[in-house]
Amino acid sequence: MSLEVAASGAEQLGNNWGKLIDCVLFWFAPFLQEIYSEKRQSVCTLFIAHPTGFTTTSSHCFPISCYSSIMVHRVAVIGAGPSGLTSVKACLDEGMVPTCFESSNDMGGLWKFKEVSEPNRASIYRSLTINISKEMMCFSDLPIPADYPNYMHHSKILKYFRMYADHFKLLKHIRFQTVVKSVRQRPDFSRTGQWEVVTEDKDGHEESHVFDAVICCSGHYTYPNLPLKDFPGIETFEGKYFHSWDYKGPEDMYGKRVVVIGIGNSGGDIAVEGSRVAEQVYMSTRRGAWVVRQVVDNGLPLDMKYNTRIVHILFQLLPINFFNWMVEKRLNTMYDHTMYALKPTHRFFSQIPVINDDLPFRILSGAVIVKPNVKEIRGSTVVFDDGSMVEKVDTIVFATGYNYGFPYLPSSVMHKSGQRVGLYKHVFPPNLEHPTLAIVGFIHAFGAIMPQAEMQARWATRVFKGYKKLPSNQAMIKAVEKDTRDIEKNYFVSKLTPLEVDFVSYMDDLAGDIGVRPNLLWLFFTDFPLFKRVLWGPMTAYQYRLTGPGKWEGSRRAIFTQFDRMYQPLKTRQVVEQETSYAGLLIKLSLTIMAGGAAAYYVHVHHPTAISTLMSKFHPQTV
């Protein structure tokens, strides 16, 4: 282990017990609050008719002061991609009337493939396959069909979104081929919190609407960043250049010499695909990247193996440099990033890695050659920072990311914080008099955007209805600035990637506000098999339908069968199964019992009446 890691570990060792207590309090806070709450100002029992046919009964306690004086009924949703679809559903779940405006003629947003890219719309290539496994990307109350592959082609993803829209009857709330021209506060906004939304249909007819609230779901892969000024001599280039936004397939690369600038996920995919038909592909990168595989131990999807609560708990207890060292060491064991010219200038957890199983082999086979940043272009010659050059280049692909913005919103609405749009918990502008404008799906994390957008939509609609009161503007702005500092401290950020969050912490934070965060201590005593799967299993969104508003009776079964759905598409040939090894199971069971025992002991020592109060619910005669 390096001296840097050892020093960092020694520095933080003294704080680990405090972090353990923080973790216990964070995850078990709902249980303690349940026991020690003595005053309830208002009790509301919500009977929610779940769209899947289940009836949900949830009891919640809200102080009377949390109800807003603004009555939100009609909500405009901008965009019918996955974020827009789940926002429409969240509005319906809360009894509001949504109207979704979609500029194209179909739903799906980014995942609706078109042979020709359309201005001001997200665009994907023909072969695109998502790098998040199906169980980790699906919405919380509709699992993806078991026979669908774990990593889905964009056509399968669009089919799933159609299932979601049909299942919850969302399509009738969408107005297709309708562009939102502007969203402005009404003159009486101080009193009503209402917005005027101006739209234009396919025939060019404008229409003005009044809505009580607006949810923006227009995404951040719409405006390609093409920084030609950073590449002197591009005007002399004799071949063809374009942004990855325009890329559809490698048809125009046959037998050609191609330079791909940028090493994100799109750049990696295009370099790999192009290298199968091109004479030679060169990949230029300024900072390098960590490259990880989608298939890990025992053939499991990467995220189902490592995106778990127990891993997240360890992250709270141990220095981040330890995990950086451990992951980087393992990645270099598979393929040395220095030897492959991939090693980046940042640590692993400072930026979302490139997920690509094929890129290392294409480099090893010589089909892709990694080069430093482009210094200048001279006709058909590309010169790199190290002085090397490639001649007779036919095509340059700029995989240089995307700019973001909300051109239909007034600039005064958005709060600027560092290099990002400052949103309270990445959802609400902190400087509005009434919280009736929300941004959903505008986020990056080590996890799928779909469940995050769903959680944001559920929280935003609860705020709209007044069930959750936001802090004062001053407090929200202060929280936004702190969030910006934390992001800049923990991640490598730029103007193109200013939105990194920790997936589990962020989901749990919003879930706590909604009242749907799973209570681990309660599950430990009341449903130990479920407790094990929530703690050790993948962080699938079903966990947030176990209790509280929007509870789904099928969530427990979905958690217990998530690996069955993972295995199902692989069962294409009958084979003799190996005998099960019980050593690992015994170790995991022992650690689980120890973790639960430690939590119970902490509660017993610091809150001695908590356990007896809990037990009285099951055996009241013994207390």
Residue 194: is its pLDDT beyond 90?
A: yes
Tokens encoding 71: 């009555």
Which pair of structure tokens corresponds to residue 323?
């995990």
Per the model's pLDDT, the better-predicted residue between 392 and 222 turns out to be: 392
- Tell me the pLDDT band of 59, cut-offs 50, 70 and 90: very low
pLDDT one-digit tens code per residue, 508-558: 999 999 999 999 999 999 999 999 999 999 999 999 999 999 999 999 999
Higher pLDDT, 166 or 34: 166
Q: How far is CA 228 from the centre of its chain?
A: 30
- CB burial of 482-504 (b: ≥16 within 10 Å; e: otherwise) equals ebbeebeeebbbeebbbbbbbbb
Q: Which residue has the tokens 């900072």?
A: 287
User: 443: pLDDT confidence band, cut at 50, 70 and 90?
Assistant: confident
Amino acid at 484: T
CA 49, CA 455: separation in Å to the nearest integer? 19
Lowest mean pLDDT among 168-177, 221-230, 481-490, 583-592: 583-592
Banded pLDDT at 367 (limits 50, 70, 90): very high
- Mean pLDDT, residues 452-463: 97
pLDDT at 152: 97
State the average pLDDT for the chain: 85
For 301-324, what is the mean pLDDT?
92
Question: 254-269 pLDDT, tens per residue?
Answer: 999 999 999 999 999 9
Q: Which residue has the higher pLDDT, 91 or 586?
A: 91
Asked whether residue 603 carries a pLDDT value surpassing 80, the answer given is no
Closest C-alpha to 268, from 127, 70, 434: 127
What torsion, rounded to 10 degrees, do the Cα atoms 561, 460, 513, 351 define? Answer: 70
Tokens (6 digits) for 502: 């920790």
588 pLDDT higher than 80: no
Question: What are the chain's domains?
Answer: 74-222+404-518 (3.50.50.60), 226-400 (3.50.50.60), 586-615 (no CATH)
Cβ neighbours around 421 below 10 Å, total: 21
Mapped onto helix, strand or coil, the DSSP state of residue 471 is coil
| Strand locations in 335-494 (E) | 354-355, 368-371, 374-378, 381-384, 389-390, 395-398, 402-403, 415-417, 420-422, 437-439, 444-445
pLDDT > 70? residue 376: yes
Residue 42 reports pLDDT greater than 50: no
**Inter-axis angle of helices 583-606 and 16-36, to 10 degrees?**
70
- Confidence at residue 444, expressed as pLDDT on a 0 to 100 scale: 81
Using 50, 70 and 90 to split pLDDT, how confident is the model at 15?
A: very low
pLDDT of the residue at 21 = 45
- The helix, strand and coil proportions of the chain, stated in percent and rounded to the nearest 5, come to 40, 20, 40
| pLDDT over threshold 90, residue 17 | no
* 240: β partners: 395
Q: Give 415-454 as a DSSP string.
A: EEETTEEE-BTTTB-TT-SS--EEE-S--EESS-HHHHHH
Q: What is the mean pLDDT of residues 360-375?
A: 97
Model confidence at 395: pLDDT above 50: yes
- Choice between 605 and 499, residue whose per-residue pLDDT is larger: 499
The gap from C-alpha 298 to its chain's centroid, in whole angstroms, comes to 25
Of 195-199, 278-282, 407-411, least confident by mean pLDDT is: 407-411
What is residue 55's predicted lDDT score, i.e. its pLDDT?
34
pLDDT (0 to 100) of residue 375:
96
pLDDT of residue 590: 72
Residue 49 pLDDT > 50, yes or no? Answer: no
pLDDT at 495: 65
* pTM, entire model: 0.83
Which H or E run contains 194?
none
Q: Looking at the predicted structure, is the pLDDT value of residue 436 above 80?
A: yes
Length of the chain: 623
pLDDT value of residue 6: 43
User: Average of pLDDT values for 187-199?
Assistant: 96
Task: Please tell me the distance from the alpha carbon of residue 208 to that of residue 218, in angstroms, as a whole number.
Answer: 19
The yes-or-no verdict on residue 196 having pLDDT over 80 is yes
Per the CB < 8 A criterion, the answer to whether 195 and 437 are in contact is yes
Residue 607 sits at φ, ψ, to 5 deg, of -135, 70
